Amino acid sequence: MKPLRRIYFVLITFILVACSSNGGGVAGIFATPTPLPTPKIDVTPAPDVNTAFNSFFDALKQNDYENMYALLSTESQNAVSLEDFSKRWNNALNEMSAANFEVNILSSQISPRNAEVGYSITYQTVLAGDIQREIVMRLINENNAWKVQWDDSLILPELAGGNQLAMEYSVPARGDIYDRDGLPIVTQSKALAFGIDTGAIDPDLRGTLTAELGLLCGFDPLNIQNQIDASGPGWYLPMCEATRAEAQRLISINPGGLVVQEYESRYYSQSGLAPQAVGYTLSISPEQYDEYRRKGYNGSERIGQTGIEQWAEDYLAGKHGGVLRVVGPNGQIISTLGQSRPEPADSVYLTIDNSMQYYAQSAIEFFRGAIVVMEVDTGRIIAMASSPDFDPNYFDANNPNNQGLANMLNSGGTLNRATQGQYPLGSVFKIITFSAALESGAWLKDTTYDCQYFFTEVEGFTGNDWTYDYCQEAIARGEGCNTSRTRPAGILTLQEGLMRSCNPYFWHIGNDLYSGLSRPNDIANTARAFGLGSPTGIQQLPEEAGQILDPQSQIDAVNQAIGQGDVQVTPLQVARFMAAIANGGTLYRPQIVEKIQPIDGDPLLVFKPEANGTLPLRAENLDVLREALFMVTGTRGTAYNNIRGMQFSVAGKTGTAESGSGLPHAWFAGYTNNAANTGLPDIAIAVIVENIGQGSDYGVPLFRAMVEAYYYGSPQRPFYEWGQIGLPPYTPTPPGGGIFNP
Q: How far apart are CA 617 and CA 438, in angstroms?
A: 8
pLDDT score for 232 = 83
DSSP H or E run through 375: strand 369-375
Question: Does the structure show a pLDDT above 80 at 577?
Answer: yes
Does residue 456 contact residue 462 with C-beta atoms inside 8 Å?
A: yes
pLDDT of residue 110: 92
Residues of the chain with CATH 3.40.710.10: 426-724
Provide the total of helices (H) and of strands (E) in the chain, helices listed first.
26, 29
Pick from 36-45, 108-117, 528-537, 659-668 the range whose average pLDDT is largest: 528-537
What Cα–Cα distance (Å) separates residue 583 from each residue in 35, 188, 196, 673? 99, 40, 51, 10
Choose the weakest-confidence range: 100-109, 473-482, 544-553: 473-482
Beta pairing, strands 347-350 & 723-724: unpaired
Q: Residue range 721-732: average pLDDT?
A: 70
Give percent of the chain above pLDDT 70: 92
In CATH, the architecture of 426-724 is: 3-Layer(aba) Sandwich (3.40)
Provide φ and ψ at 431, rounded to 5°: -60, -40
Candidates 626, 650, 458; CA nearest to 557 is 458
**What is the model's pLDDT at position 37?**
55
Task: Give the model's confidence band at 18: pLDDT under 50 very low, under 70 low, under 90 confident, else very high.
Answer: very low
In this prediction, residue 734 has a pLDDT band, given cuts at 50, 70 and 90, of very low
Q: What is the DSSP letter of 205?
A: G
Handedness of CA 593, 594, 599, 600 (dihedral sign): positive
pLDDT at 739: 34
Listing DSSP states for 330-364 in one string gives TS-EEEEEEEE--BPPPEEEES--HHHHHHHHHHH
Beta strands in 388-534 (DSSP E): 448-451, 454-458, 461-464, 490-493
Distances (CA, A) of 682 to 274, 378, 590: 21, 10, 15
Q: What is the pLDDT of residue 335?
A: 95
pLDDT at 315: 97
Q: How far is residue 395's CA from residue 385's CA, in Å, rounded to a whole number?
A: 20
Instruction: Say if CB 604 and CB 598 are below 8 A apart.
Output: yes
Give pTM, 2 decimals: 0.87
Cis peptide before 238 (omega within 30 of 0): no
Task: Express each pLDDT in 56-66 by its tens digit.
Answer: 999 999 999 99
CA atoms of 309 and 414, how far apart (whole Å): 14
pLDDT at 33: 53
Is pLDDT above 80 for 540? yes
pLDDT over 50 (residue 196): yes
User: What is the β-pairing status of strands 347-350 and 177-178?
Assistant: parallel
Q: Provide the 8-state DSSP code for 250.
A: H
**88 and 108 Cβ atoms separated by less than 8 Å:** no
Phi, psi of 635 (to 5 degrees): -65, -25
CATH 3.10.450.100 intervals, the chain: 49-161
Q: Per residue in 605-628, pLDDT tens?
A: 999 999 999 999 999 999 999 999
Residue type, 379: G
* Under 8 Å between Cβ of 541 and 351: no
What's residue 410's pLDDT?
Answer: 77
Determine contact, residues 280/405, Cβ cutoff 8 Å.
no
Q: Is the Cβ–Cβ distance between 418 and 384 less than 8 Å?
A: yes
pLDDT-derived band at 233 (thresholds 50, 70, 90) equals confident
CB 109 within 8 A of CB 135: no
Q: What is the pLDDT of residue 364?
A: 95
Distance of CA 468 to the CA centre of its chain: 42
- Tell me what the mean pLDDT of segment 502-531 comes to: 96
Residue 254, SS3? coil
pLDDT tens digits, one per residue of 203-229: 999 999 999 999 998 888 998 999 999
pLDDT mean across residues, the chain: 90
pLDDT band at 41 (very low <50, low <70, confident <90, very high): very low
Per-residue pLDDT averaged across 647-655, rounded?
96
* DSSP assigned state of 449: E
**CA-CA-CA-CA dihedral for 479, 485, 487, 490, to nearest 10:** 170
CATH code matching the domain that covers 180-272, chosen among 3.40.640.10, 3.90.1310.10, 3.40.190.10, 3.40.630.30? 3.90.1310.10
Alpha helix ranges (H) inside 122-234: 206-217, 221-231
pLDDT in tens, 348-404: 999 999 999 999 999 999 999 999 999 999 999 999 999 999 999 999 989 988 876
In angstroms, the Cα distances linking 713 to 21, 381, 705 are: 123, 17, 10
pLDDT at position 435: 98
Q: Give the mean model confidence (pLDDT) for residues 408-424.
A: 90
At residue 296's C-alpha, the angle toward residues 293 and 301, to 5°, is: 70
**Residues belonging to the chain:** 742
Q: How confident is the model at residue 6 (pLDDT cuts 50, 70, 90)?
A: very low
Lowest mean pLDDT among 262-266, 335-339, 632-636, 699-703: 262-266
Classify the phi-psi angles of 125: left when phi > 0, otherwise alpha if psi is within -120 to 50, otherwise beta.
beta
Percent of the chain whose predicted confidence (pLDDT) is above 90: 81
Contacts by residues 244-250 (CB-CB < 8 Å, ≥ 24 positions apart)? 244/190, 244/192, 246/216, 247/192, 247/194, 247/216, 249/212, 249/216, 250/194, 250/212, 250/213, 250/215, 250/216
Buried b or exposed e, range 330-364, using 16+ CB within 10 angstroms = eeeeeeebbbbebeebbbbbbbbbbbbbbbbbbbb
Is residue 23 pLDDT above 50, yes or no?
A: no
Task: Give Cα 739 distance to the centre of its chain.
Answer: 39
CB 427 within 8 A of CB 742: yes
Nearest to 596 by CA among 317, 271, 229, 251: 317
Domain limits, CATH 3.90.1310.10, in the chain: 180-272
Q: Which residues of 165-190 are buried (b: 16+ CB within 10 A; e: fewer)?
A: bebebbbbebbbbbbbeeebbbbeee
CA atoms within 13 A on the CB side of 538: 34
Give pLDDT tens digits for 111-138. Answer: 989 999 999 999 999 999 999 999 999 9
Exposure class string for 435-444: b at 16+ Cβ within 10 A, else e = bbbbbbebbe
pLDDT of residue 405: 74
Among the ranges given (179-193, 465-479, 714-728), the one the predictor scored with the smallest mean pLDDT:
714-728
Q: Which class would CATH give 49-161?
A: alpha beta
Q: Nearest Cα to 741, choosing from 648, 655, 635, 632? A: 655
